[in-house]
Amino acid sequence: MKVQSLLKLLLTVAMVATFPTLAADDPVKLQGLRGGTPVNADNPPSASHQERDHAVFDRDFVQQPPLIPHTTVGYQITKNFNKCMDCHAWQKTKVSGATKVSVTHFRDRGGQELDNISPRRYFCTQCHVAQTDAKPLVENTFKRSRGLQ
Amino acid sequence: MTDNNNMENKPAAGRLKRLTAWAWGLATSAIGIAFILGIVFWGGFNTVLELTNTEAFCISCHEMEKNVYVEYRNTIHYQNRTGVRATCPDCHVPKEWVPKIIRKIQASNELLHKALGSISTPEKFNAKRLQLAQNEWARMKKNDSQECRNCHTFTSMDYAEQNRRAASIHQIAFNLGQTCIDCHKGIAHTLPAIEQHIGAPKEGAAELPDVSKTPPAAPEK
């Protein structure tokens, strides 16, 4: 009985002693990928660079859009002009030596084959991306598809 | 007799001497004044010429500031890792004196269009973008991209340091006698509509010549 009340007393003292510090000094820490930066401010730009030209990347998963093995800094993809098509359009690849646009891009969303690249495929960088030396924002345990290893 | 003669000649000789001195003084001072005025006018002319060759002058009219300057600010010729900047005249005005004066005289036409307000709004500018771009492409093609080559020359390029695409294409282009502007269009400003033969035909788009079949520009001196 005495030990029990002593323990209770100790527990109460401990709780009372720790409670205010918990409440005041340790607010719950919630942090997004932006860190604590308020929405009306910007984080300093991370100094990540697009990688220089290299050989074609292997694919990591089935149906992965091929990655861009060169920099695309300053490339215009506008209503007026598509810089990618300057080299990757079929009629340009003989001179440029670039990879041809896949024939899957000649199909509209209804599955109808067209005689030219489908408008829905115009914005190349929606799917195909250049690689940078940036560090992953979160831990990643992704493994390449077994059939592609 | 001789004495008499001497007596008569003395004032005449003195007058001649004074006249020569006066003429000589006049001539030298005239030359001197002309020389100084020459320095002043030539210096003034060149100072004004150089003043019109600055970025601040170029973008003092809103046609340039609100259209092409904004586009150029996103490109590598404005900001880059080494901090070397090419401003408007570096690309658009020849460095050599005679071509520079010719270009400056041609630019008086631009003053007329400034007064007419031909490109005073972004809409008007975009409507004329193709024509303006083609003027500049033609000029660059004609002078073998001289303004590019003031900084970038084929002969001083280290292909080993270039990206592999650039290294291979540059050597092909060099051998074909092509010039920078044949490929490097729209590097500092937004391009006008260009027909690329993908998707539906574009309305009012420019048809660019096939680079692989481009006739070579004037050989490099």
The answer to whether the Cα torsion of B124, B130, B134, B136 is positive or negative is: positive
Quickly state the pLDDT bin for A50 (edges 50, 70, 90): confident
State if pTM tops 0.80.
Answer: no
Non-local (6+) Cβ contacts of B189 within 8 A are B68, B71, B72, B75, B133
Probe site for chain B from A49, A71, A77, A81 (most B CB atoms < 10 A): A81
- Provide the 8-state DSSP code for A126: G
User: Is B212–A71 a contact, with Cβ atoms under 8 angstroms apart?
Assistant: no
Phi first, then psi: give them for residue A50, nearest 5 degrees: -70, 140
Average pLDDT over residues A59-63: 92
Judged by CB atoms closer than 8 Å, whether chains meet at A85 and B198 is answered as yes
Round to whole Å and give the CA distance between A87 and A90: 8
pLDDT exceeds cutoff 50 at B193:
yes
- Segment of A128-137, B6-15, B83-92 carrying the highest mean pLDDT: B83-92
Res. A45 pLDDT band, cuts 50 70 90: confident
**Separation between Cα atoms, residue B65 and residue B71, nearest integer Å:** 9
Nearest to B197 among A71, A81, A91 (CB): A91
Q: What's the whole-number mean pLDDT along residues B174-198?
A: 90
B51-72 per-residue burial string, b: 16 or more CB within 10 A, e: under 16: eebebeebbeeebbeebbbeeb
How high is the pLDDT of residue B8?
54
* pLDDT for res B165: 86
Query: Is residue B1 scored above 60 in pLDDT?
Result: no
pLDDT at B220: 40
Predicted local distance difference test score (pLDDT) of residue B206:
83
* Interface check A78 vs B, CB under 8 A: yes
Instruction: Give the distance from residue A30's alpha carbon to the nearest chain B alpha carbon, in angstroms.
Output: 36
Find the CB nearest B199 among A95, A97, A116: A116
| Token pair recorded at residue B83 | 């901090």
Q: In chain B, what residues touch A73 (CB-CB under 8 Å)?
A: 76
CA distance A132 to A130: 7
What is the residue-averaged pLDDT of chain A?
A: 84
Mean pLDDT over all residues of chain B? 86
The closest alpha carbon to B194, from A89, A9, A25, A59, belongs to A89
pLDDT at B21: 92
Nearest CA in chain A to B75: A74
